[in-house]
Structure 1
Amino acid sequence: MAKVNVYIDGFNLYYGALKGTPYKWLDLARLCTIMLPKDEVQHIYYYTARVSARAHNPSAPIDQQIYLRALRTIPNLSITYGHFLTHSVRMTLTGVNPAKRVWVDKTEEKGSDVNLATHLLRDAFTKRFELAVLITNDSDLAEPVRIVREELKLPVGVLNPHEHHSRELKGLATFVKRIRQPALHASQFPSVLTDAKGVFHKPSSW
């Protein structure tokens, strides 16, 4: 039984396995237990950024706050925040007039991959785990995984929330497992939770 730290790229998990499904009310501790049944999960690091309301999803910030509140009921989980950066860029219009260029507001999440890589390397150098497990499919994390595996000689597993595996991560990781629908289904929080502030409920739209 290995002592495990789990590092979760929240948006990679969301867009790979949760968006458009009934499984967004996901208990990450339960998911880790199901996916790593022979190991002892010491700590779960969750990386995200606070979302803003959009015309197609005006309740997104409130829903996210409720979910983050649910995650904070997990004793061995910590949340690290990045941020969103929005800027205007000129892009080519596809379709009828592909030569036309238009201004588009482009929003990018910044910080999650850097924060995850930093904490992974810190914990590896200080030997805070026997096994590191990443929940992501982001090939940008290939180099920190390589350093931990090849230079520090520590195992790193990947739980992939996407349908296809990153070739770079698959080539470097100790193991890669796909997170599938039955595990998500079995890892839901109860619809009603209680914390120090009182009782709260799963978002109605979820």
Structure 2
Amino acid sequence: MAEVQVTATEPLRTRIYVDGYNLYYGCLKSTPYKWLDLMTLFERCILPSSAPPESVLLPLSIKFFTAKILEKAARALDSVSSQARYHTALRKLYSERIELIEGYYSLIESKAKLVNPTAPATWPRDCQETLVWKLEEKQSDVNLALQAYHDAITGEVDQVVIVTNDTDIAPALQLIRTYTKVQIGLVVPSRTRQRIPNSELVELAHWVRTHITLEELAKSQLPRVIAGRKPTMKPESWYARPDLLERVVAMALPFTGSRGKAFKWMEDPNPHLGGRTPIELVETDEGAEQVIAYIERYQQHVAGTERPSDEDGHRS
């Protein structure tokens, strides 16, 4: 019997192109998972479960398209500094694997038509105008389209994975399909299946991941502190309950001596809390009450072990 020759499948050199704006508003806004480890999410969760098995990430694995928040339009006082910390953390941990490509935000005064509340079907041309602030992210979608097409047409990649639900990227994907043999993966940045994938993008993709689960986001978080000459720390406002976190940290300070040591204590599993970590428990009111009760018991224990002193300060 003739020996059957088995041909090994050629690896698919893969790169991921992330629309940061789409990812944030589709998956991360209003969650405690903004401190997202992009490499872990895609390398350990998304690609193994959705992409062809022969997919192999290139050394430069992810191109992340973003824009710096404008302070005058930021929703929170620490939005600018928190985003800057996150970008610094990615650059520190993944200087060779993740490239941040920045566009910018445009903020201009613009006229807009008001919907007539008494006659909503009134055509815009017949409605009143008002002056509004118009905030737009510029260049990110264009940069993503150009980078993906450039990498495909020059033979740098065998597969592009596009993380967006923005139809503006469709012309670039059509060019990739027409002029190259590069595979296209589409990851829709949504936490549930309720966000309908853009049909035009789906038709152009070879495979589609319709959502990213909360469990995957939770498992793909950066370390709280990124070491360096100047450590980069997760913003406290990015935790699930910053109010509870601050309360517990303040209670722990007298015993730990510093905020850094307080956080270290909170990150360690505690046998008095069922083996759970205090920082995990303070994500809910019920969990925080357990931690607070434990700290209060500890305070009472310490107070009870101190011997009273006389008027001269001598221990009795």
The counterpart of 1:49, out of the listed 63, 67, 73, is 67
Greater share of strand: 1
CA distance in 2 between counterparts of 1:96 and 1:71 reads 46
Instruction: Give the letter aligned to residue 155 of structure 1.
Output: Q
Q: How many Å apart are 1:55 and its aligned residue?
A: 6.1
Amino acid across the alignment from 2:161:
V
- What's the CA shift for 1:84? 1.0
Higher helix share goes to which structure?
2
Query: Which of structure 1's runs of 4+ aligned residues deviate more than 6 A?
Result: none
Question: For residues 105-116 of structure 1, what are the structure 2 equivalents within 5 Å?
Answer: 105-116=133-144
Within the candidate set 184, 201, 205, 2:233 is matched to 201
Q: 3-state DSSP class of the match of 2:21?
A: helix
2:272: which partner in 1? none
- Secondary structure in structure 1 of the residue aligned to 2:25: helix
Structure having the higher Rg = 2
Q: Which residue of 2 aligns with 1:129?
A: 157
The CA distance in 1 between the partners of 2:25 and 2:116, in whole Å, is 26
84, 92, 103: which one pairs with 2:113? Answer: 92
- Pick closer, same or farther for the CA change 1:96–1:146 going to 2, 3 Å: closer
Aligned to 2:3: none
Amino acid at match of 1:179: I
1:90–1:160 distance in 2 versus 1, CA, 3 Å: same
For the pair 1:4 / 2:14, whether they are aligned, the reply is yes
Residue 70 (structure 1) shift:
1.1
Deviation at 1:96, TM superposition (A): 5.0
Aligned counterpart in structure 2 of residue 166 of structure 1, from 172, 175, 198: 198
Q: Which of 23, 31, 36 is 2:47 aligned to?
A: 36
Aligned residue runs from structure 1 range 184-195, under 5 A: 184-195=217-228
Aligned partners of 1:117 and 1:141 also within 8 Å: yes
Report matched runs for 1:38-77 at 5 Å: 38=53, 39-42=55-58, 43-53=61-71, 54=73, 56-72=75-91, 73-74=93-94, 75-77=96-98
Deviation of 1:92 (Å): 2.5
Count of matched residue pairs: 205
Question: Structure 1 residue 27 and structure 2 residue 76: aligned?
Answer: no
Work out the CA distance in 2 between the residues paired with 1:9 and 1:121. 15
Unaligned runs of 5+ in 1: none
1:143 pairs with 2:164: no
How far the C-alpha of 1:160 sits from its partner, in A, is: 0.7
More moved, 161-170 vs 52-61 = 52-61
Q: CA deviation at 1:154?
A: 1.2
**Secondary structure of the structure 2 residue equivalent to 1:6:** strand
Quote the Cα distance in structure 2 between the aligned partners of 1:100 and 1:144. Answer: 38
Counterpart among 61, 76, 101 of residue 129 in structure 2 = 101
The equivalent residue for 1:118 is 146
State the match for 1:83 in structure 2: 104
TM-score normalised to structure 1 length: 0.93
State how far apart, in whole Å, the 2-side matches of 1:52 and 1:134 are.
Answer: 26
- Give the letter aligned to residue 27 of structure 2: A
Q: Distance in 2 between matches of 1:2 and 1:179?
A: 22
1:95 to partner: Cα distance: 6.5
Evaluate the alpha carbon distance shift between residue 204 and residue 6 of structure 1 in structure 2; reply closer, same or farther with a 3 A threshold.
same
Q: Report if aligned partners of 1:161, 1:180 keep a CA contact under 8 Å in 2.
A: no
Gaps of 5+ in 2: 1-10, 121-126, 239-316
Tell me, in whole angstroms, the C-alpha distance in 2 between the residues paired with 1:173 and 1:107.
30
Larger RCO: 1 or 2 (CA < 8 Å, sep 6+): 1
Contact 2:13 2:56 in 1 (8 A): yes
Identity of paired residues, percent? 35
Query: RMSD of the alignment, in Å?
Result: 1.7
